[in-house]
Amino acid sequence: MDTGVTIARKTEKHLIFSRKCSIIVAGGDNMINSTAMLLQKYHEYANPAAKIARLVKDGDLTPVIKGLYETDRSTPGYCLAGIIYGPSYLSFEYALSWHGLIPESVYVYTSATCGKKKKKQYSTPFGVYTYRDVPVEVFPYGTKLCEENGYGFVIATAEKAICDTLYTCSPCANKRELRQLLFDDLRIDQTTFTSIDLNELAEVAGLYHTSNHRLLISLIKEIRRHE
């Protein structure tokens, strides 16, 4: 398990991620706890580990992954994505759906990481979480820090989610193939696509230095010419 927890500090253009931070928790009694936090909380018990096991058995604690417990079983799964493995932010299919770019609901919490060099997947009582790398140089850009019920979570903007998704796809040969990839294969809604910030999309795409992103910039210029 990666015990680091993602927090983001917002700047004008991007979010700076830090792993030297405390877990983001909800107010009151509902919160996420590490094993170390629980052992400290119940250190006066003769057997703190047995106390934790009883709380799990009674349903007062829900194990998320090894070493992490949630006190509120109704916590939305997306609030936990950056806590389970990080630094990370929600992106790819989940973020595309979140922003209404694709018609399907996505039930896997797909997240972007950097520098991990391997994919990760966790199946938990709160849902399935997947993590995969994007380039280190693009990782901090185009993300938004959100808060819900005291939990902080970071999600890609619509523009960044498109760029991250293209990074995972095989190279297209030309703009026709890119259009097919975007609007047929990925099922991105064309009307929604043209309504997002195309300037921001082109700016973010320029950070990736791949053929798909160069074609995307060319496609954006073509769309602007026909506006």
Q: What is the pLDDT of residue 30?
A: 57
Asked whether 97 and 106 are in contact (CB, 8 A), the reply is: yes
Omega within 30 of 0 (cis) for the link into 87: yes
The SS3 of residue 185 is helix
Backbone angles phi, psi at 173, to 5 degrees: -85, -30
Which helix (H) or strand (E) covers residue 145, if one does?
strand 143-148
Q: What is the pLDDT of residue 13?
A: 39
CA 62 to CA 33: how far, in whole Å? 10
Asked whether 31 and 48 are in contact (CB, 8 A), the reply is: no
List the strands of the sheet with 68-70, edge to edge. Answer: 32-34, 68-70, 62-65
Asked whether 10 and 74 are in contact (CB, 8 A), the reply is: no
The half-sphere exposure of 96 on its side-chain side, counting CA atoms within 13 A, is: 26
Give every residue of the chain whose pLDDT is below 50, as ranges. Answer: 1-28
Which helix (H) or strand (E) covers residue 17, if one does?
strand 15-18
Contacts of 84 (CB under 8 A, 6+ apart): 64, 65, 68, 122, 124, 129
CA 164 to CA 92: how far, in whole Å? 6
Each residue's pLDDT tens digit, 150-185: 889 999 999 999 999 999 999 999 999 999 999 999
**CB-neighbour burial class of residue 8 (10 A; exposed 0-12, middle 13-18, buried 19+):** buried
Prediction pTM value:
0.86
CA 189 to CA 197: how far, in whole Å? 15
CA 180 to CA 166: how far, in whole Å? 12
The half-sphere exposure of 75 on its side-chain side, counting CA atoms within 13 A, is: 32
Paired strand residues for 108: 128
